[in-house]
Amino acid sequence: MRFGILTAFALCVTVAAPAFAQGSLLDPNSATQQQLAAVPGLAPLAAQIVAKRPYASPAAFDAVLAAGNLTPQQRTQVYLRAWVPMNLNTATPQDIMLIPGMSTRMMNEFREYKPYKSIGQFRYEIGKYVPKTEVARLEQYVLVPK
């Protein structure tokens, strides 16, 4: 039964979340002010985003966007273009839930397999529940430090 529910979730996320090219997300810790300003909704905040670096987590970046009066929906749109890569082994539920299209059920799957030893392990474990294209999309948001 668990696999059936997660498979249905995967199909919903795959349809609802836009496709990405691998590695296409800007990292707010290293992107230039001009690159950040090109992200829809970030032009008025780009200088402030650069000034408040570094961001230790997606939640820290989210707090700056929220303080800049971006709605949750606007912030989700930003996360389709710019994201602070999160360490799978230290990410909080709040960090994970900021990933566009994330559900509580999938967040729990991310956490179930900690500690991750490699990104390959992430691909394998999460690949049990979602198609390869969705694993590739989710992989843009995470990292496993060596």
Tell me, yes or no, if the pTM score tops 0.75: yes
Written as one letter, the residue type at 73 is Q
Q: What is the pLDDT of residue 31?
A: 97
pLDDT tens per residue, range 73-114: 999 999 999 999 999 999 999 999 999 999 999 999 999 999
Q: Which of 88, 27, 75 is nearest to 54 (CA)?
A: 27
Question: Given 3-state DSSP classes, what are the helix, strand and coil percentages for the chain, each rounded to the nearest 5?
Answer: 50, 5, 45
